[in-house]
Amino acid sequence: MTRHCTGSIHLEGKRTVVSQIISALTRAILVALLVATPALVLPSIAVDTAQMVVVIAILFSLLTFIEYFGRYPSIVEFRFAPPFNRLKFLALLAVILSLSFICRGLTDPTPLTVIITHVGNRVADLLDFPFSPVRLIVLMLPADTSVGEVALVRVAGAVSYCVSLLMVFAFVVMVRLLGWPMRNGAFNVWVNLPLFDPTRGGDIVERLKRDAALNIVLGILLPFLIPAVVKAASFVIDPVAFDSHQTLIWTMTVWALLPASILMRGIALMRVSELIEEKRRRVYAKAEAEAMQRT
């Protein structure tokens, strides 16, 4: 009986390790494909650029494998609170694929690129209004920028910003209507927030709320501030120029999704602080009830 139980435990442990390796390897491959997507979709890529993309893709995939192969996270937050990171990955994939096909359609049009470009133009018409982030991105360009490049930047900015808004809206729905993260079981604060130091002092709830408010404000303001800062810096240094389509794709992706990711983090931290407060209230109420029963 003892040998049989020991063998079952070892077999179960091997299955867990194999499953963990497959999961980490799958994520690493998906990240590598994501990084290489513009180079794979665009019709012509320089040899040096292709080599750089391969190196970066391998680096990011290796980091992803190491992060997800370990039992406990070291960098990635909310790793055990899906679909927080999956939602960000899907939004990133949607932006990169859309912008890659739009850029490809300029030189190698297909029915798919025509449809995506048409949808992008309609989105640009909706989001390009005075003082909007899309309008600020267009105004950020140098005065001698060609009409075609201005139109491309306008569409790319509108598509990326629209996807970022949809990502944030979907996460808010998951938090307020679907009960994230408690819907997936117990939520471990320390495992899902590896970069959060609980020993810095002060009440944890207040610190979480302060960090959440800071992230929310930054996530809202950064799409407006980044073009303004770049435009102001152009008087001192060379103005920004999108010499290649890959530069445009990654610049618009970072400009739109980085603030949205910060905003999502702020919403998530606010939700975690609410869960801690709710648990504290239950514990205090239980302690008071037990004290009253004793008396």
pLDDT, one tens digit for every residue, the chain (295 residues): 555 445 555 556 577 788 889 999 999 999 999 999 999 999 877 778 888 999 999 999 999 999 888 877 778 899 888 899 999 999 999 999 999 999 999 989 999 999 999 999 999 999 999 999 999 999 988 888 889 999 999 999 999 999 999 999 999 999 999 889 887 777 888 888 888 877 776 788 999 999 999 999 999 999 999 998 888 887 777 666 677 899 899 999 999 999 999 999 999 999 999 998 988 888 888 777 777 777 6
Same domain, 121 and 192: yes
Cα–Cα dist 175/182, whole Å = 9
Judge if 105 and 53 occupy the same domain: no
For 94, the token pair is: 């949607």
d(CA 72, CA 25): 16
Q: Are residues 66 and 88 in the same domain?
A: no
Per the structure, how many domains does the chain have?
A: 2
- 36 and 159 share one domain: no
Where a domain ends, among 45, 71, 97?
71
**Closest Cα to residue 168, out of 96, 254, 257?**
257
43 plus 99 within the same structural domain: no
Place of tokens 């609410």: 274
- What pLDDT score was predicted for residue 293? 75
The CA-atom distances, in angstroms, between 273 and each of 67, 191, 264, 268 are 26, 15, 14, 9
31 CB-near residues (< 8 Å, 6+ apart): 57, 60, 61, 64
| Distance from chain centroid for Cα 83 | 11
Instruction: Using the structure block, give the residue that is written with the tokens 């850029």.
Output: 103
- Note whether 64 and 92 are same-domain residues: no
Is the Cβ–Cβ distance between 160 and 252 less than 8 Å?
A: yes
Reduced to 3 states (helix: H, G, I; strand: E, B; else coil), residue 40 is helix
What would the pLDDT profile of 206-250 be if each residue is shown by its tens digit?
999 999 999 999 999 999 999 988 888 877 776 666 778 998 999
Residues 86 and 117 in one domain: yes
Are 215 and 117 within one domain?
yes
pLDDT at position 48 is 82
For residue 10, what pLDDT is reported?
Answer: 56
Look-up: residue for tokens 């648990």?
A: 279
Q: What's the pTM value of the predicted model, to 2 decimals?
A: 0.90
Shared-domain flag, residues 9 and 99: no
Distance CA 265, CA 68 (A): 20
Q: CB under 8 Å, gap of 24 or more: what pairs does 61-64 form?
A: 61/28, 61/29, 61/31, 61/32, 61/35, 62/28, 64/24, 64/27, 64/28, 64/31
Write down the pLDDT at residue 215.
96
**Count of CB atoms within 10 A of residue 145's CB?**
17
Q: Nearest CA to 165 among 119, 133, 125, 200?
A: 133
Final residue before a domain boundary, out of 71, 86, 102: 71
Task: List Cβ neighbours of 151 (8 Å cut-off, separation of 6 or more).
Answer: none
Return the pLDDT at 4: 46
Give the Cα separation of 156 and 249 in Å (integer).
8
Q: Whole domain around residue 39: which residue ranges?
A: 1-71
Domain boundary among 71, 103, 122: 71
Cα angle: 58, vertex 82, 30; to 5 degrees: 20
Residues 170 and 280 in one domain: yes
Segment holding 107, helix H or strand E: helix 84-107
213 and 283 together in one domain: yes
26 and 82: one domain? no
The per-residue pLDDT for 197 is: 76
Per-residue burial over 180-194, b = 16 or more CB atoms within 10 Å of its CB, e = otherwise = bbeeeeebeeeebbb
